[in-house]
Amino acid sequence: MSALLAIGEAMLVLRGTSPGVLMPGSQFVTSIAGAEATVAIGVARFGHTASFAGRVGDDDSGDLVRRVLAGEGVNVDHLRTDPSRPTGEMRRYARVWSTSTVTYHRRGSAASMLTADDILPAMTTDTRILHVTGITQALGDSAAAAVETVIAAARERGILVAYDVNHRTRLISVEEAGRRLARILPQIDILFCGEDELHVLQAATDSHHPIQAAGVTELIIKQSAAGATCHADDGAHHAPAVPVPLVDPVGAGDAFAAGYLSAVLDDLPVPARLTRATHFAAFTITTPGDWEGLPHHRDLALLTSPQGTTFR
């Protein structure tokens, strides 16, 4: 089926087109969003097979999620339709140019009732990486239990488990996020954590030195404009961020994870994985939207070419 299986929540997103107070006549662009869905799209754009498993409602928003993912080459055979619960929704607009306001409508959503039975059939002998984030664990008890069951099954089958902390303060407290992460931490192979999320890792490891205590094969600390550092068995590796004009920072961390995991699928060493990951993030922040700017293979040369280069 697919080399990468991403599980979690995908939702409708309404993105404001100009800054200011929400008023009658405010204009929005309709798209989809979801951390794991972004990773699946990024991996698929780079030529690898990817699947997304989860739940959406039996509504127009769920239909849009399904169409966009399928159109981007992501397998959605195991994206279930829940007839009794809605697809989640996110509204995002800029109150001022440099500040975004995000409102979620996801309580009681279809994705919050995700179960292991929804996901396990999507895990096949072709699956090399399972990717999940802390967002899914935070959606509700059913989704959190599903994550634990599916991760255990992946490890039993020799599938690499990649996990992004992706802490959302409106969904879950640091303490509860840490407790839920602690239950699965020994089974994670590749752990992504933002520098501003280290307190969640600290809560999970009950340590003032969470990097040393994490115990995963690869711990990647995303450092925003400073780049990223991977702590692996052979030491620490760092890659600087690619300097590009910032248009929209949302989705950069998920793009980074997509680039890194696509490089894992290409069997590249850690330094090359980090380089590709930072390039993925750079493409994303130069384009409005969570996933729309994710690159294809042919795009990578655009970042390293001299300014003003024209490709004919």
Convert 226-237 to b/e letters by CB count within 10 Å (16 or more is b): ebbbbbbeeeeb
Distances (CA, A) of 152 to 124, 128, 157, 303: 15, 14, 9, 39
294, 276 in Cβ contact below 8 A?
no
270, 217 in Cβ contact below 8 A?
no
Query: Can 63 be counted among the known catalytic residues?
Result: no
Using DSSP, state whether 97 is helix, strand or coil: coil
Set 60, 254, 267, 290: catalytic member:
254
How many angstroms separate the CA atoms of 14 and 210, rounded? 36
Q: Tokens representing 69? A: 């993912």
Residues in Cβ contact with 285 at an 8 Å cutoff, skipping those fewer than 6 apart: 244, 246, 247, 248, 249, 251, 252, 293
Find tokens 């989640």 and name the residue. 88
User: Based on the number of CB atoms within 10 Å of its own CB, is 23 exposed (0-12), middle (13-18) or buried (19 or more)?
Assistant: exposed
The one-letter code for the residue type at 151 is I
Q: Tokens representing 297? A: 């293979």
The DSSP 8-state label assigned to residue 196 in this structure reads G
Render 33-45 in DSSP notation, one character per residue. Answer: E-HHHHHHHHHHH
Name the packing angle between helices 198-205 and 174-184 (round to 10°): 60
How many angstroms separate the CA atoms of 18 and 291, rounded? 19
How many angstroms separate the CA atoms of 110 and 11, rounded? 10
Q: Which residues are catalytic?
A: 254
